[in-house]
Structure 1
């Protein structure tokens, strides 16, 4: 679905099975990837716990995966994949630290001391029941990669960003799905989207009780509720219109994203969300964002 060209398949935990079982699983993987763009990709048996074949895996990564191009010039932007409060219960006010956001920088460079914007920020309903968003503005107080404290951070890997914001805003992954970056440079926030889509022919890993065969994906229906994954955001989406390979959806949560962004589409099947297709954002309805306050 993602049109990946460079693929390495890792067969992990081989230390837990016999050699003949490992060979059988290897053959199962080869059958599974037949007639896909993963066909012919190296399958590396490893044990991450015991570090078996990790050197071989690293060699494959270096030789097979080209080094991605990094953009250090554009305004910085990061998608948040986790957020938390590092303060222990009962901490004194003077010793409290601001909320922490973690994620991957997509472009640009973040520096300690920079004032940043987080969208959509705090969402609420107005007196008419319409969604409104108030972006969060905060200062970067620290940057971490693994256990290393940084003065600036660039694209690639996971970065932890310490901020001056109220830690209750970051507690329990509350900022997951938000976008962080330079003030005034972030994408619009959408409440409705028009998405061009392609459905899978079958549900992967799902079997019917009657035939024990993998279920076929049925067409989208107006009024059904799907789940869309956009960046790191997961949101419910009610289908309010569908025509051929285009659908219009109303989002449960507002999303900060770009036109042209890729979307994963899931449907509720047997009490589980199952991937049924992919899409691309073509248009949408935005929320007005209030201008930033005067900041020191």
Structure 2
């Protein structure tokens, strides 16, 4: 059995993976909070998609591959099958999206959160082991069944807690604290699953096909930056509950108690015809006056 190193570059990769999971969780929770207060079905779908990409794509999938950057097996190189890697990302996003759809529509209940958590957790575990199946190396992979089951259980619990937080947490400080907790849960699931892995090298090392991690790193980083910037822009551009309340208050002020609309304010009197003649906009023109020249 080959020797496995999960921290080839020391603390850098686990620290970055935790930071990614916290960032994605924070943005995802903020987007998920908008689902419950959205005015239309289209808005709820939009915020659900953004939350799914934030949590599934950034907090879970990007964290997984950032942690895999520090994974090494002595005696063999590691490559990745790109199509399977992309499929693993889609599994994470779709699983989180379905979980949010379950808890984000209708009355919130423990049953909905539990069902959504089981489905999402199973999807997250499927993403992890699909991503592991994308590895290409000079050996065969084996897994410890007990630790695999433990990692799936952690994924289900973490997903259930995440969905519960998504529909209950509103204040910024609580969202930040929840993101920190979710980051611990996501990383705990990943490294528990990785601890179940064993590698048995082949006696004859053939050519290993696939993309190296350095090849995948640039598009993954660019995708994460694009998603994060897009999410931040969407959150900043969207009106908040306070904005909607302010707009409703101003609309109410424009209606008198009898229900009739208050007319728009009339322009101020213009006795000398400044606006009509536009003299202030033409330098050198004479100033308008009502004075009548005396007869000569």
The verdict on a shared fold, with TM-score over 0.5 as the criterion, is no
Higher strand share: 1
Structure with the greater alpha carbon radius of gyration: 2
Q: What is the TM-score of this pair, normalised by structure 1?
A: 0.19
Q: What is the TM-score of this pair, normalised by structure 2?
A: 0.19
